[in-house]
Amino acid sequence: MASILRIIAQRLALGVLTLFVVSIVIFAAVNMLPGDFAQAILGQGATPEAVAAIRQDLGLDKPPVTRYFEWLGGAVQGDLGNSFAQANFASFAGSDTGSGLGSVAAQVAPRFANTMFLAGVTAMIAVPFSIILGLLAALYRNSLFDRGANIFTLSSISSPEFFLAYVLILFLAVLNPILPSLSNIYADMAFSDRLEKTLLPALTLTLVVTAHMMRMTRAAIINLLASPYIEMARLKGMSPARVIVKHALPNALAPIINVIALNLAYLITGVVVVEVVFVYPGIGQLFVDSVKIRDIPVVQACCLIFATAYILLNLTADILSIISNPRLRHPK
């Protein structure tokens, strides 16, 4: 037990360090974006004094190191700053415009909730479906079903998300109007309507993550089926299904849990393309819109949320893999 706790503590410390390094990269990369927000707001005809006044009001005149630690300190306390795009620049020379700034957290929170809803719907479909397909493919290895599943998964993995999205729109929204092609959900929408609007982007993401999870599950089970204790179970007269469920699957949990967590991380960080295609009001769509107008605080907040979610899910995968490892639970 002590060894497990020590390894978990090491993973947590490494996660915090990784997040700190990533925050530096995010801040540096976002601030290296071409263009000047103050100049873009006022236009090319703006006077240098007007541009300088807005830069001072937004804090862009401070040294990068100072701005980074102010941003990081606020983020640690839950304050992601104020949106540049929602600032009130009606009067900027010598006036207090801070009250006109919109909170980044207020913008990000509902969008992140929408993305989590989309990821949750996708996970509820993809995780059990991929595990069942992986078990069946391993149980009936080299059969017609296994070969068909391999062709399907390879096709899904090799196809970009936007292509799969357009194919589903064509067949399920245009040729056969079963589901809506646009996912324009809003806060007060009924759950059934929200679910219907979310199904098409969820199915797109399901095709992507199911392929990966199914292949990894199949590979993990097939690898364990060659183990001596599996051969012994077979010699005892156990059926193939019981051998997999009772002996192979419990020992394959660690790699399966790891790949599921990695794909769940993708669902949160890799939804940008799908959200843009379906006009889904998630954090990915907000990120793209904010990059277009160079709203630095919102872009930084979105990137930090993506990184935090990815690191947390990877940490969860590592911890669950450690806990499910019999050699660590019983070192002797």
Residues 313-326 have pLDDT tens digits of 888 877 877 777 66
First and final C-alpha spacing in the chain: 11
Q: Among 48-62, 138-152, 227-241, 311-325, name the most confident range.
A: 138-152
Evaluate if residue 101 carries a pLDDT over 60: no
Q: Are 257 and 162 in contact (CB under 8 A)?
A: no
Q: Are 271 and 282 in contact (CB under 8 A)?
A: yes
Residues 87-110: what's their mean pLDDT? Answer: 61
Q: For position 205, what pLDDT does the model report?
A: 92
How far apart, in whole angstroms, are the C-alpha atoms of residue 214 and residue 240?
A: 19
Q: What angle do CA 161, 165, 170 make, to 5 degrees?
A: 150
Contacts of 112 (CB under 8 A, 6+ apart): 282, 283, 305
Q: Are 62 and 88 in contact (CB under 8 A)?
A: no
Contacts of 318 (CB under 8 A, 6+ apart): 11, 258
**E-assigned strand segments in 21-81:** none
Confidence of residue 96 (pLDDT cuts 50, 70, 90): very low
Residues 298-309: what's their mean pLDDT? Answer: 90
Q: For position 94, what pLDDT does the model report?
A: 42
Residues 127-144: what's their mean pLDDT? Answer: 88
How far apart, in whole angstroms, are the C-alpha atoms of residue 323 and residue 328?
A: 7
pTM value is: 0.82
Burial class (CB in 10 A: 0-12, 13-18, 19+), 8: middle
Catalogue the long-range contacts made by 3-9 (C-beta closer than 8 Å, 24 or more residues apart): 3/328, 3/331, 4/322, 4/323, 4/328, 4/329, 7/322, 7/328, 8/319, 8/322
Side-chain-facing half-sphere of 18: CA atoms under 13 Å? 14
How far apart, in whole angstroms, are the C-alpha atoms of residue 198 and residue 277?
A: 12
How distant, in Å, are the alpha carbons of 10, 22, 60, 71, 328 from that of 321? 14, 24, 44, 34, 10
Residues 169-195: what's their mean pLDDT? Answer: 89
Q: Are 307 and 22 in contact (CB under 8 A)?
A: yes
Evaluate if residue 107 carries a pLDDT over 70: yes
Evaluate if residue 327 carries a pLDDT over 70: no
Helical axes 253-269 vs 296-323, angle rounded to 10° = 170
Coil, strand, or helix at residue 80?
coil
Q: Which of 41-50, 69-78, 158-167 has the lowest mean pLDDT?
A: 41-50
Chain-centroid distance of CA 264 in Å reads: 6
Evaluate if residue 186 carries a pLDDT over 60: yes
Residues 110-127: what's their mean pLDDT? Answer: 92
Q: For position 40, what pLDDT does the model report?
A: 67
Residues 214-230: what's their mean pLDDT? Answer: 83
Tens of pLDDT, residues 7-35: 788 888 998 999 999 999 998 888 777 76
Q: For position 98, what pLDDT does the model report?
A: 43
Confidence of residue 328 (pLDDT cuts 50, 70, 90): low
Count the neighbouring beta carbons within 10 Å of the beta carbon of residue 220: 22
How distant, in Å, are the alpha carbons of 99, 142, 245, 328 from that of 230? 68, 19, 11, 21
Evaluate if residue 39 carries a pLDDT over 90: no
Q: Which of 2-16, 199-213, 303-317 has the lowest mean pLDDT?
A: 2-16
Q: For position 278, what pLDDT does the model report?
A: 93
- Express as a percent the part of the chain with pLDDT over 70: 88
> pLDDT averaged over the chain?
83
Evaluate if residue 201 carries a pLDDT over 90: yes
